[in-house]
């Protein structure tokens, strides 16, 4: 039943009510929201032209704009170098102080997360579809196009339609070796890639309440693959502890009303759930990894990275399996941390040495192999085990290449065995 029928408001409605200065909003309503944070990466270079074309002279609030170069780092093509130059020039002209350039860079969503740029109650927008990840802070965080961003930069406001919300309630305990990546893949297998188109997905329940912030980031990140406008988790003690020392501006803690209305509710029990894998060629083509492992799927490349699963916790999880092992002959294993600070942590903890001694390539922070435009591109007949978020045809280069999505531990297990393997066998 919807909040439009007189019930309380869910989390997305609460945040959009605050952003638009209204007492309440309902699904389908068009509102004009005050933006709390605007983020751009290389695609943001396409925003600069429209910004000037509409007659804008100054960014509405330089302190609320973050630019992070992340897809081609350092620039690997002339086109990428031009995009970087456009952004550097724009940042200089507009006196934008929060520019994360090469050497102090990271995947844009990770930069926002680890530096506290998005806080509970915010309306945050970015020029990347996986901006949804920041909804783990209890914010409405969404990807928008370049011309929309131009308007945001000029005005600090954005009109949008209030989305209906799917509530996903999760209970039970994740077993040994089972991660939030396995859980979000399972949920994706049920909701499908179009099941949440222009909807909010609100995660709740005892299992979500026990999750760390990095685990919640993974959950909200892949709501993009459901077509969702945003993915969200209500803020709680975990959120406030995470943000306590890094929040860049005041929080506006909002939680859903007890009688909040939802378009639908999906109940998930994770007790006894096996690891999951999304098979080619869609993130919702999800099967138990144990079934796929029995088919002895040979891999050519393993990739531990992306905004979904390249935080220090993910890399430590992979390193625990890699210790004392070697990358299988004929397999290329690429590890790409989500930010420069995570790279430095890996350096301090000896994780870079561990992976490289095992035969892996440990790269600087970037989107890396995930989007098929920089490094780690596959040949047409090759197979990749990846901790990233998408496996559509052409995602890592040629449309014939096959990508299997899985947890960091499962990626490392595949790199060691040379085929898709249940990581629990090696833990």
pLDDT tens figures, 273-324 = 999 999 999 999 999 999 999 999 999 999 999 999 999 999 999 999 999 9
Q: Do domains 8-245+256-268 and 276-422 have the same CATH topology?
A: yes
pLDDT at 427: 79
Domain at 276-422, CATH homologous superfamily: Aconitase, domain 3 (3.30.499.10)
pLDDT at 423: 96
- The whole-chain average pLDDT of the chain stands at 96
Instruction: Give the Cα separation of 101 and 374 in Å (integer).
Output: 17
Indicate if the pLDDT at residue 4 is higher than 60.
no
Supply the Cα-derived Rg of the chain in whole angstroms: 21
Per-residue pLDDT band at 373 (split at 50, 70, 90): confident
pLDDT tens figures, 48-88 = 999 999 999 999 999 999 999 999 999 999 999 999 999 99
Q: In Å, what is the CA distance from 276 to each residue of 182, 269, 283?
A: 5, 14, 11
pLDDT at 375: 92
Indicate if the pLDDT at residue 153 is higher than 80.
yes
Strands (E), 264-324: 264-269, 276-278, 286-288, 301-304
Instruction: Give the Cα separation of 181 and 269 in Å (integer).
Output: 15
Domain at 8-245+256-268, CATH homologous superfamily: Aconitase, domain 3 (3.30.499.10)
pLDDT tens figures, 11-40 = 999 999 999 999 999 999 999 999 999 999
Instruction: Give the Cα separation of 160 and 94 in Å (integer).
Output: 26
Indicate if the pLDDT at residue 173 is higher than 80.
yes
Q: In Å, what is the CA distance from 280 to each residue of 71, 286, 334, 422?
A: 23, 9, 20, 18
pLDDT tens figures, 344-363 = 999 999 999 999 999 999 99
pLDDT at 374: 87
Indicate if the pLDDT at residue 177 is higher than 70.
yes
Beta carbons of 212 and 313 less than 8 angstroms apart: yes
Please report, for the chain, the start and end positions of each structural domain, with discontinuous segments joined by +: 8-245+256-268, 276-422
pLDDT tens figures, 98-142 = 999 999 999 999 999 999 999 999 999 999 999 999 999 999 999
Indicate if the pLDDT at residue 46 is higher than 60.
yes
Per-residue pLDDT band at 3 (split at 50, 70, 90): very low
In 3D space, the residue among 195, 165, 193 whose CA is nearest the CA of residue 265 turns out to be 165
pLDDT at 86: 96
Residues in Cβ contact with 294 at an 8 Å cutoff, skipping those fewer than 6 apart = none
For 249-267, what is the mean pLDDT? 96
pLDDT tens figures, 363-372 = 999 989 989 8
pLDDT tens figures, 226-255 = 999 999 999 999 999 999 999 999 999 999
Indicate if the pLDDT at residue 338 is higher than 60.
yes
pLDDT at 310: 97
Instruction: Give the Cα separation of 398 and 300 in Å (integer).
Output: 14
């Amino acid at each position: 039943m919807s909040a439009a029928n007189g019930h309380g408001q869910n989390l997305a409605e609460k945040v959009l009510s605050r952003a638009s200065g209204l007492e309440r909003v309902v699904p389908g309503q068009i509102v004009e929201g005050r933006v709390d944070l605007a983020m751009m990466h290389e695609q943001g270079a396409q925003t600069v032209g429209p910004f000037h074309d509409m007659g804008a002279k100054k960014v509405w609030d330089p302190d609320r704009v973050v630019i992070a170069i992340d897809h081609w780092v350092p620039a690997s093509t002339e086109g990428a170098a031009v995009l970087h130059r456009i952004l550097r020039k724009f940042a200089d002209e507009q006196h934008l102080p929060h520019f994360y350039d090469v050497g102090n860079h990271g995947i844009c969503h990770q930069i926002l997360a680890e530096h506290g740029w998005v806080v509970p109650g915010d309306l945050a927008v970015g020029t990347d579809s996986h901006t949804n990840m920041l909804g783990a802070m209890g914010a409405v965080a969404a990807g928008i196009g370049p011309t929309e961003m131009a308007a945001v930069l000029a005005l600090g406001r954005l009109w949008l339609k209030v989305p209906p919300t799917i509530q996903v309630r999760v209970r039970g305990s994740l077993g040994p070796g089972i991660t939030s990546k396995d859980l979000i893949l399972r949920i994706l297998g049920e909701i499908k890639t179009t099941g949440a188109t222009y909807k909010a997905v609100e995660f709740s329940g005892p299992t979500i309440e026990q999750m760390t912030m990095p685990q919640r980031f993974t959950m909200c990140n892949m709501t993009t693959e459901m077509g969702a406008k945003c993915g969200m988790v209500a803020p709680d003690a975990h959120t406030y502890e995470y943000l306590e020392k890094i929040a860049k501006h005041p929080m506006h803690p909002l939680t859903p009303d007890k009688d909040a209305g939802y378009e639908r509710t999906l109940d998930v029990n994770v007790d006894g759930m096996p690891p999951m894998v999304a098979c080619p060629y869609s993130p919702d083509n999800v099967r138990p990894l144990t079934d796929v492992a029995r088919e002895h799927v040979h891999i050519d490349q393993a990739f531990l990275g992306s905004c979904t699963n390249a935080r220090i916790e993910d890399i430590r999880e992979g390193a625990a399996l890699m210790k004392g092992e070697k990358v299988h002959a004929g397999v290329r294993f690429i590890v790409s941390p989500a930010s420069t600070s995570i790279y430095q942590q890996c350096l301090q903890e000896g994780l870079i040495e561990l992976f490289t001694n095992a035969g892996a390539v440990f790269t600087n922070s970037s989107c890396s192999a995930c989007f098929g435009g920089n490094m780690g591109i596959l040949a047409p007949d090759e197979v990749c085990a990846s901790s990233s978020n998408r496996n559509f045809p052409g995602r890592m280069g040629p449309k014939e290449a096959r990508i299997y999505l899985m947890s960091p531990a499962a990626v490392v297990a595949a790199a060691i065995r040379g085929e898709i393997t249940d990581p629990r066998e090696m833990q």
